[in-house]
Amino acid sequence: MTADTPAPELRAAQPFDEPLGSRFPTAVAMWDAAVAEYGDVPFLYDFAQPLTFRELDERAAALAGALSRAGLGPGDRIALFAQNDPLFVAGLIAAWKIGGIAVPVNPMNTARELAYHLSDSGARALITLPGLFAEVARDVVVSAGLALTIVGGHREWRGDGTEVAEVAAPAELAAEPRCVLAEDVFADPPSVPAPPQARPDDVALLTYTSGTTGKPKGACNTHGNLAFDAEVFEALTGLRPGQPILGVAPLFHITGMVAHLMLGIRGAHPIALTHRFHPKAMLQAARAHRPVFTIGAITALMALADASENGPEDFAGLDVVYTGGAPVAPALADRLEGVFGAYVHNIFGMSETTSAAIGVPRDARAPVDPASGALSIGRPVYGTRVRVVGEDGRDCAAGEYGELLCAGPQVVPGYWERPEATQEAFDDGFLRTGDVGFADADGWIFLVDRKKDMINAAGYKVWPREVEDVIYGHPAISEAAVVGVADEYRGETVKAYVTLKEGAQASGEEIVDYCRANMAAYKYPRSVEVLEQLPKTATGKILRRELRSR
């Protein structure tokens, strides 16, 4: 890319009349206001079972009482090790009621990974589910010396989609050291000492990064960060109060936390939950609750589309769809729009930006870069500034590649007890995202790739995403991931891993030929390997690191 115009202005307009954060300065204030105003309104649907704001608040108060009696209070960390269940949400609110900090933990984590999160955060309590306790957490909580473990039941989808099973916490778990059952806690009258009122800069969550490039770090998401980004999603989506949300994203992840829970709290949007993501269970929820909005990884949206039987009729009412966390090829966006009947909007964010920092507004469609064929990830969301910075630290001109830097009220103050990592990640108030992109003359931002994923093939820079976007144009391709592999002649060369659509057939050689015909000679993959599935994080990000190590 060449710099042919001055650096574009990358700052969003503010569509709200009220000053930023004036309505709800903290996440806990947002929750208290919702309970006061919408107490008897359903907030969660656990499959078909409704739970009102007041009912959930009562559960949270009971859990908070148990935590307080165990000696926990302001500043203490409470780990949440659960799926998309009411217990997770009640535990989150309970942590805030005692002035504590919630630590959402990926329910796919192993015992070793859970132990790391508990140790790194200094968590003193754990709220979890029976299966996760028995299979993963039992030995970990003993060695971690937690003050309290609360185990609660849940519902889960089974069989062909006609059965929702109740999973209760076995009574014998109450005999475990410093372990209580959530159902017993809920039966006791709550007694919670009033903690100091949360301030906007108080840490509300430790959201751990995915660890795709090293050990996970706890991003310190504040109450102000959460309340602000709930405003961001309200502005982006244009949802009216009470319009339902389909809970596709995992709640432990910052996207589900903000774009489902915080947005739902702010606008009294009922959220349909199905314990974990299963395409057929999620499709049933869409039919039953007629959600207006959802957001999820592109892989989850593709699985949901593949489960559809009747096309747009399955998703009647679904009007606003967003995706982030992985690149979206134009061909995929077109395919999903044909199924959902709604355009899939891009959004860009990280744990460190408390979800959204850049996004495509609801009433817009992302432009396509004519050079690479990539869809734009949007413009800065309101109240947010973005810079595209070259390696020499200067702001890049329109069309010139550089690292994306973000600043705004949703950007975290740093990492939990990691001053060196915090200093490395921030530059004069701007977060270094580690993502490479560019902005066009109109201020639309395009993501190229992660800096560390760039391939150097005989001196030529190859960005995996550009190659992947071409591969997605092949009619047999379901998913694609491109990595650099060692090559004696070129130093590094391009390799692609793909999965095929159900019933489709294509050889690696055929896909190589397709790419050769559609991109420059130095870019096309020299080999393509067809797999049954690609390795992913729990949130749907393809793990290129694992592919490189094959």
Residues 442-459 have pLDDT tens digits of 999 998 766 667 676 755
CB 196 within 8 A of CB 74: yes
| Whether pLDDT at 33 is above 80 | yes
Q: How do 402-407 and 385-389 pair as beta strands? A: antiparallel
132: number of CA atoms within 13 Å, CB side?
A: 26
Higher-scoring residue by pLDDT: 539, 244: 244
What is the Cα–Cα distance from 31 to 212, expressed in whole angstroms?
A: 33
Nearest partner of 353 among 413, 442, 283, 272, judged by Cα: 413
How would you classify the pairing of strands 344-350 and 293-295? unpaired
Q: Find where tokens 């909005």 sit.
A: 293
Per-residue model confidence as pLDDT tens digits over 114-129: 999 999 999 999 999 9
Single-letter amino acid code for the residue at 162 = T
Which CA distances in Å does 213 have to 73, 298, 467, 545, 550? Answer: 34, 21, 21, 8, 16
pLDDT (0 to 100) of residue 2:
44
- Per DSSP, the three-state class of 215 is coil
pLDDT for res 546: 80
**For 485-503, how does the pLDDT look when each residue is reduced to its tens digit (9 = 90+)?**
877 556 678 999 999 988 8
Fold of the CATH domain 27-198 = Rossmann fold (3.40.50)
Distance (Å) of CA 100 to CA 59, 66, 97, 209, 417? 16, 13, 7, 20, 16
Percent of the chain that is helix, strand, coil (3-state, to 5): 35, 25, 40
| Helices 53-69 and 27-38: angle between axes, nearest 10 degrees | 130
Burial of 43 (C-beta count, 10 Å sphere; 0-12/13-18/19+): buried
Considering the domain 454-548 in this protein, what is its CATH number?
3.30.300.30
- Residue 493 tokens read as 């060369």
Is the dihedral angle over the CA atoms 12, 17, 22, 24 positive or is it negative?
negative
Count CA atoms closer than 13 A to 205's CA, side-chain side.
34
pLDDT tens column, 242-280: 999 999 999 999 999 999 999 999 999 999 999 999 999
One DSSP character per residue, 474-499 reads STTEEEEEEEEEEETTTEEEEEEEEE
> Is residue 472's pLDDT more than 60?
yes
- Here the tokens at position 211 are 């660890």
Is the Cβ–Cβ distance between 101 and 120 less than 8 Å? no
Q: Note whether 481 and 468 are within 8 A (CB).
A: yes
Give the start-end residues of each E strand in 360-401: 379-380, 385-389
Domain limits, the chain: 27-198, 223-240+279-451, 454-548
pLDDT in tens, 128-187: 999 999 999 999 998 999 999 999 999 998 866 568 899 999 999 989 999 999 999 999
Mean pLDDT taken over the chain: 89
At residue 115, the pLDDT reads: 94
Per-residue pLDDT of 305-328, as tens digits, reads 988 887 778 999 999 999 987 667
Instruction: With beta carbons less than 8 A apart as the criterion, state whether 297 and 244 touch.
Output: no
Let me know if 383 is exposed, middle or buried by CB neighbors in 10 A (0-12, 13-18, 19+).
buried
The answer to whether the CB of 297 falls within 8 A of the CB of 540 is yes
User: CA-to-CA distance for 411 and 357, rounded, in angstroms?
Assistant: 8
What Å distances lie between residue 238 and 267, 363, 530, CA to CA? 11, 9, 41
Please state, in angstroms and rounded to a whole number, the distance separating the CA atoms of residues 191 and 213: 44
> 3-state SS of 186-205?
HHCCCCCCCCCCCCCCCEEE
pLDDT 10s digits, 400-452: 989 999 999 999 999 999 999 999 999 888 999 988 889 999 999 998 766 66
Q: How far is residue 34 CA from its own chain's centroid?
A: 23
pLDDT by residue (tens digit) across 198-220?
Answer: 999 999 999 998 654 457 899 99
Q: What is the amino acid identity at position 101? A: I
pLDDT score for 3: 44
Q: How far is CA 446 from CA 203, 381, 425, 430, 438, in A?
A: 31, 14, 21, 18, 5
Start-end of H helices in 328-477: 330-340, 419-425, 464-471
Q: Which of 11-20, 104-113, 460-469 has the lowest mean pLDDT?
A: 11-20
HEC string of 2-16 equals CCCCCCCCCECCCCC
The confidence score (pLDDT) of residue 187 equals 92
223-240+279-451 and 454-548 have identical folds: no
Q: Which CATH code fits 223-240+279-451?
A: 3.40.50.12780
Pick from 402, 477, 430, 536: nearest CA to 3: 402
Q: How many CA atoms are closer than 13 Å to the CA of 50, on its beta-carbon side?
A: 13
pLDDT confidence of 537, banded at 50, 70, 90? low
Q: Which two tokens stand for residue 409?
A: 């009220």
Q: Which two tokens stand for residue 101?
A: 């900090």
> How many angstroms from the chain centroid is the CA of residue 48?
24
